[in-house]
Amino acid sequence: MSIDLLTPPHNFAICKMHERNFPGIVVQGDSFSVLLRLLKRARALRPEHADDESLDETTSRTLDELDYEIKKLASVMDLYEKICFENGYKQLPYVKPASD
């Protein structure tokens, strides 16, 4: 597999895998963990007592979509951590929150 770096690397980089039609965004693990934590916090702002009947359809659908995307991103984060440890990294570039 070949990858072209299209921007200078910082906390993120734009790169293009030759097998793909469009470039992708590579985000550093610590930056990704911050974004995921913020999404989870934002999602937690919904009062626990609010049921689906008290929400309009658009809000309910948006929250369901957000839940789905948070789960996908959390899976990516879990894989990142697994791969780091499997490849000899003794620690992560961030501290895992106790609530995760």
- What pLDDT does 43 receive? 86
Kindly state whether residue 93 falls inside one of the protein's structural domains: no
- Number of folded domains in the chain? 1
**What Rg value do the Cα atoms of the chain yield, rounded?**
17
Kindly state whether residue 96 falls inside one of the protein's structural domains: no
pLDDT in tens, 21-78: 999 999 999 999 999 999 998 888 875 555 666 778 888 888 889 999 999 999 999 9
For 12, 22, 36, the CA distances from 30, given in Å and listed in that order, are 11, 25, 10
The two structure tokens encoding residue 18 = 């030759």
Domain range for 11 is 3-86
